[in-house]
A and B are shown apart, each in its own frame.
Chain A
Amino acid sequence: SQELEQSPQSLIVQEGKNLTINCTSSKTLYGLYWYKQKYGEGLIFLMMLQKGGEEKSHEKITAKLDEKKQQSSLHITASQPSHAGIYLCGADNKLVFGAGTILRVKS
């Protein structure tokens, strides 16, 4: 069965610093979703990647899918306290999610 492994499990960054979260699939992906979850709330859709080598950006968040479609990265530039939360990657089949990366931003 497919598995998505995220790293790091958690990280604390100083406000203004850049950071990267990785998501690695045990099988080739047809598509990958990134979601953000705030404590006590549901997941909010961030971005979806489908094509190998694809890169998408929204405000200060950039997500990439590698050419082999087995690894994705989420990069945040100049982090802000509003970026704090749990970031999860999800497979295209909607059945498998990574365990999540907890992000804390120190101001």
Chain B
Amino acid sequence: NAGVMQNPRHLVRRRGQEARLRCSPMKGHSHVYWYRQLPEEGLKFMVYLQKENIIDESGMPKERFSAEFPKEGPSILRIQQVVRGDSAAYFCASSPPGQGYSPLHFGNGTRLTVT
């Protein structure tokens, strides 16, 4: 029973390039959350998606960042024209559908380094 899978684990991009981070939720989970973590800053919410829908993107920067969760395939967090300040660990988490307070299941993150 595979957990949340994120790839790549490490990603190095030069300034101006695009970064694509992938997240496959746990089997049966239809809710996906993306977070960014900087040292000593904790976990910052970015976006919450369900299949083919963005539910809450209040934590996403207005420019260069986008996310999708298509009907088939993983969720993608895309960062265009990366800058040094985008360097961080990006975590994806999933939860099952339906109401109730179910905990999040996290992937091991993608560590993005912008050179």
Please give the residue numbers on chain A whose beta carbons come within 8 Å of chain B beta carbons, in ascending order.
9, 30-31, 33, 35, 40-45, 48, 50, 88, 90, 92, 94-100
Q: How many A-B residue pairs have CB under 8 A?
A: 59
Majority secondary structure, A binding face? loop
Q: A45, B41: Cβ atoms under 8 Å?
A: no
Interface of B is mostly: strand
CB pair B103 A88 closer than 8 Å: no
Residues of chain B contacted by A40 (CB below 8 angstroms): 108-109
Q: Among A30, A45, A48, A50, which residue has the most Cβ atoms of chain B within 10 A?
A: A45
B→A interface (CB under 8 Å): 4, 6, 33, 35, 40-45, 48, 56, 58-59, 91, 93, 95, 101, 103-109
Please give, as numbers and ranges, the residues of chain B lying within 8 Å of A45 by CB-CB distance: 103-105
Contact B106 A88 (CB under 8 A): no
A residues in contact with B43, CB < 8 Å: 43, 88, 90, 97, 100
* Cβ contact of A95, chosen from B59, B103, B106, cutoff 8 A: B59
List 13 additional contacts besides A43-B91, A95-B48, A97-B35; criterion CB under 8 Å.
A9-B40, A35-B104, A40-B108, A40-B109, A42-B93, A43-B43, A92-B101, A94-B48, A94-B95, A94-B104, A95-B56, A98-B42, A99-B42
**Closest chain A residue, CB of each to CB of B41:** A99
- A100–B104 touching, CB < 8 Å: no
**Cross-chain contact B48 with A41 (CB below 8 angstroms):** no
Closest to A86 in B: B42
Contact A42 B45 (CB under 8 A): no
A94-B48, A95-B56 known; A31+B42 contact, CB < 8 A:
no
Identify the closest chain B residue to A49 (Cβ).
Answer: B101
Query: With the chains together, A90 CA to B107 CA distance in Å?
Result: 16
Closest to B89 in A: A40
B104 touches A44 (CB 8 A): no
B36 to chain A, nearest CB (A): 11
Known A94-B33, A99-B41; contact A44-B101, beta-carbon cutoff 8 A: no
A-B pairs with beta carbons under 8 Å apart, 9 shown: A35-B106, A40-B109, A42-B106, A43-B104, A88-B42, A94-B45, A94-B48, A97-B45, A99-B40
